[in-house]
């Protein structure tokens, strides 16, 4: 008896040996094993003895090496090189700008060594996530959510208030709350997956968790982070409704979507009033309503854009000041102005186009993801990255109310930089495993006739 | 439709998709069915079938689900919406092709082929 099994297992082993992607080995073996057993019983019914039947059933399968190689073609891990390439170009332009900014004579000069350190850590995390099996994150949804929530809560309790916002001080390093975006968005993708087909209550639960996570972020207060999280959550919920994810009456889904939007818009409005409504007015008037106060940065931004050259560094000054003295936020919110005035308009336009292409590629990649959880995870990463890119570019051209949003991979930002690299890593990781034909596994307990 | 050349042996894809149009099936069942319906003309090797099924699934032409049966798990395949469209297209191509062949050969009744 055992010896017959050995022949079958040997066959399956040889097939699997050809398939690089180890995770599917067991499912693949199961499928082929069942087939061999079926074939074997058929031969035995025809009167063969077990040994003969087993041997013939294995022979009938064909050459295990050829089968394995063909299956490997289908299940090869895939790499989305366009995402890596585009991210690299943006990060290199960022690196050049950080280098020139390290030569600034003003307080705005950055520490290039520190920048490089964070870049290396960020790229390390990206590579790590690429090879990491993202499906393991699903189980961590609630822990990640709770960690994010607890650390934010701790920041509120014992954090230092710096420029009106609470920041956590560990040793002598200030920790901005960017980590929370990553933790919450990963957790939220998991919550969405768990609520698949669970009906009305699950919608309320998911929206409740989303709103709850926004509270400590808004209390910091970090308006830009809250907006980016809302964009992420809303994208996931909207797509879920379109895909009929919760399996309830569509009207109800749309109603809950409206409820979420309502809560989101109300909270933003509340925050805006806290941030003074004048900011909105200064935005509408491009800073002219209060040129020496609230609108000063917008006015300066427009001035520096107008004196920038098509190519290369502008030699002009505004009101007698060089750019690092005359323009605030050059390595953070207004980094694109830094790019345009240092490297010229052509590089500035090029980087905007590369970013557009990256967003387009991220969406296209996400659309093709078959695993439900992978789809939500990739979509979350994609929407959070895109929101940062788009809002930051708009702010630089005075097309969005001023708030602190970094341009991913270009702005100087320790944890934020690492978080954004990790978001790209997540998309790459999901795509890499897309060929593993294991959608959200549906197992049906047999209630059907077989013959 | 992109398919590994080695995987498409003539009309195998068409035959498999056509089988799945009527009911969901597992691999062994497909081979058995094809043999029976074609009076043993089509004897499809498992070694050809599974790589093809996996490739078709990757292209979302078919999808699979597991069914627990007594002591083993069976992997059933079913046609997706995309698969239905692909099948219609392939059927139309096949009709055109066979008609053309018949026209060239002449005399043969289309319906008997």
- pLDDT by residue for chain A (451 residues), tens only, comes to 566 788 899 999 999 999 988 888 988 999 999 999 999 999 999 999 998 999 999 998 989 999 999 999 888 888 889 999 999 999 999 999 999 999 888 888 889 999 999 999 999 999 999 999 999 999 999 999 999 999 999 999 988 888 778 888 887 778 889 999 999 999 999 999 998 888 778 888 898 999 999 999 988 888 889 999 999 999 998 888 888 777 777 777 777 778 777 877 777 777 666 566 677 777 888 888 777 777 888 888 888 888 888 888 877 777 778 888 888 888 999 999 999 999 999 999 999 999 999 999 999 999 989 888 999 999 999 999 999 999 999 999 988 888 889 999 999 988 999 999 999 999 999 999 887 645 544 555 544 444 3
- The answer to whether A32 contacts B46, with C-beta atoms less than 8 Å apart, is yes
Q: Report how many Cβ contacts below 8 Å link chain A to chain B.
A: 84
Of A220, A225, A230, A224, nearest to A266 by C-alpha is A230
Q: Which of B35, B43, B58, B80 to mutate to test the interface with A (most CBs of A within 10 A)?
A: B58
Instruction: Give the one of B32, B64, B69 whose C-beta lies nearest to A446's C-beta.
Output: B69
Q: In what order do the strands lie in the sheet with B72-79?
A: A443-445, B62-69, B72-79, B25-26
Residues belonging to chain A with any Cβ–Cβ distance to chain B shorter than 8 Å = 27, 30-32, 34-35, 37-39, 42, 60-63, 66-67, 70-71, 73-75, 370, 435, 437, 439, 441-446, 448, 450
Mutate to test the interface with B, among A11, A26, A38 (most CBs of B within 10 A): A38
Determine phi and psi for A169, rounding to 5 degrees. -110, 115
Confidence of residue B110 (pLDDT cuts 50, 70, 90): low
Report the SS3 class of residue B53.
helix
CA distance B53 to chain A (A): 10
Say whether A446 and B68 touch across the interface (CB within 8 A).
yes
CB within 8 Å: A61 and B73: no
Q: Residue B10's pLDDT is what?
A: 55
Ramachandran area for residue A90 (φ above 0: left; ψ -120 to 50: alpha; else beta): alpha
CA distance A48 to chain B (A): 18
Distance CA(A436)–CA(A151), nearest Å, equals 36
- Are B61 and B80 in contact by the 8 Å Cβ rule? The answer is yes
CA distances from A437 to A70, A353, B20, B60, B72 (A): 15, 34, 18, 10, 20
Task: Give B55-87 as a 3 state SS string.
Answer: HHHHCCCEEEEEEEECCEEEEEEEECHHHHHHH
Please judge whether A437 and B48 are an interchain contact, meaning their C-beta atoms are less than 8 angstroms apart: no
Query: How many C-beta atoms lie closer than 10 Å to residue A242's C-beta?
Result: 11
Pairwise CB contact (< 8 Å): B50 & A71: yes
CB A241 within 8 A of CB A211: no
CA of A169: how far to CAs of A70, A154, A417, B29, in Å?
55, 11, 19, 65
Helices (H), A308-450: 323-326, 335-343, 345-367, 372-396, 414-432
Other CB atoms within a 10 A radius of the CB of residue B21 amount to 14
CA distances from A52 to A32, A41, A287 (A): 19, 11, 87
Yes or no, beta carbons of B46 and A35 under 8 Å apart: yes
Residues of A in contact with B64 (CB under 8 A): 437
Taking chain A, what is the end-to-end CA distance rounded to the nearest angstrom?
26
Mean pLDDT of B85-106: 88
Alpha carbon distance B91, A383 (integer Å):
41
- Collect all residues with Cβ–Cβ distance below 8 Å to A201 and sequence separation of at least 6: none
Across the interface, whether the CB atoms of B54 and A439 are under 8 A apart is answered no
Closest of A400, A406, A397 to residue A335, by C-alpha: A406
Q: Which residue has the tokens 């900014």?
A: A101
CB-based contact B66 A444, cutoff 8 Å = yes
Judging contacts by C-beta atoms under 8 Å, the chain A residues touching residue B75 are 27, 30-31, 34
Block residue for tokens 């060594």? A113
The three state secondary structure string of A25-77 is HHHHHHHHHHHHHHHHHHHHHCCCCHHHHHHHHHHHHCCHHHHHHHHHHHHCC
| pTM listed for this prediction | 0.78
Smallest Cβ–Cβ distance between A62 and the set B6, B46, B54 belongs to B46
Which of A351, A436, A448 shows the shortest CA–CA distance to A134? A436
Contact A285, A296 (CB under 8 A): no
Cα distances from A398 to residues A326, A336, A408, B18, in angstroms, run 17, 12, 18, 58
Q: How far apart are CA A421 and CA A183, in angstroms?
A: 14
């Amino acid at each position: 008896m055992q010896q017959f099994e050995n022949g079958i297992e040997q066959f399956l082993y040889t097939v699997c040996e050809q398939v690089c992607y180890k995770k599917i080995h067991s499912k693949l073996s199961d499928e082929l094993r069942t087939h061999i057993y079926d074939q074997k019983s058929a031969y035995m019914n025809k009167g063969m003895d077990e040994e003969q039947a087993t041997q013939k059933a294995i022979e009938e399968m064909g050459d295990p090496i050829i089968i394995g190689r063909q299956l490997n073609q289908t299940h090869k891990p895939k790499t989305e090189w366009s995402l890596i390439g585009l991210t690299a170009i943006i990060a290199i332009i960022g690196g050049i700008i950080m280098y020139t900014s390290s030569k600034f004579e003003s307080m705005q000069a950055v520490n290039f060594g520190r920048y490089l350190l964070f870049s290396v850590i960020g790229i390390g995390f990206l590579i790590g996530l690429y090879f990491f099996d993202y499906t393991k994150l699903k189980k961590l949804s609630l822990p990640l959510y709770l960690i994010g929530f607890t650390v934010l809560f701790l920041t509120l309790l014992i954090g230092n208030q710096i420029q009106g916002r609470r920041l956590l001080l560990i040793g002598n390093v200030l920790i901005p709350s960017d980590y929370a975006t990553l933790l919450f968005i990963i957790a939220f993708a998991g919550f969405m997956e768990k609520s698949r087909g669970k009906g009305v209550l699950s919608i309320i639960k998911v929206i409740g968790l989303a709103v709850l996570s926004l509270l400590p972020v808004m209390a910091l207060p970090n308006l830009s982070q809250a907006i980016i999280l809302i964009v992420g959550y809303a994208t996931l919920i909207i797509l879920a409704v379109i895909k009929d994810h919760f399996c309830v009456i569509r009207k109800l889904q749309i109603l809950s979507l409206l409820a979420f939007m309502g809560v989101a818009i109300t909270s933003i409005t509340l925050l805006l009033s806290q941030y003074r409504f004048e900011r909105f007015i200064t935005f509408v008037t491009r800073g002219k309503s209060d040129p020496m106060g609230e609108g000063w940065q917008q006015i300066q931004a427009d001035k520096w854009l107008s004196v920038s050259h098509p190519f290369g560094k502008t030699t002009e000054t505004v009101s007698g000041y060089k750019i690092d003295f005359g323009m605030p936020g050059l390595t953070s919110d207004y980094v694109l102005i830094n790019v345009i005035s240092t490297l010229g308009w052509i590089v500035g336009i090029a980087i905007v186009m590369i970013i557009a292409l990256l967003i387009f590629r991220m969406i296209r990649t996400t659309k093709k993801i078959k695993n439900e959880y992978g789809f939500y995870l990739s979509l979350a990463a994609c929407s959070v990255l895109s929101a940062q890119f788009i809002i930051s570019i708009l702010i630089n051209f005075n097309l969005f109310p001023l708030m602190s949003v970094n341009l991913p991979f270009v702005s100087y930002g320790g944890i934020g930089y690492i978080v954004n690299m990790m978001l790209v890593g997540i998309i790459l990781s999901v795509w890499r495993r897309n060929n593993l034909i294991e959608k959200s596994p549906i197992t049906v307990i047999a209630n059907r006739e077989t013959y | 439709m992109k398919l590994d050349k080695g995987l498409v042996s003539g009309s195998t894809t068409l035959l498999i998709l056509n089988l799945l149009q009527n009911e969901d099936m597992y691999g062994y069942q497909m081979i058995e069915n094809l043999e029976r319906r074609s009076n043993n003309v089509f004897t499809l090797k498992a070694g050809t079938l599974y790589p093809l099924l996996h490739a078709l699934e990757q292209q979302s032409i078919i999808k699979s689900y597991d069914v627990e049966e007594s002591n083993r798990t069976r992997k059933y395949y079913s046609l997706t919406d995309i698969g239905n469209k692909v099948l219609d297209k392939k059927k139309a191509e096949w009709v055109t092709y066979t008609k053309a062949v018949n026209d060239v050969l002449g005399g043969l009744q289309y319906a008997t082929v």
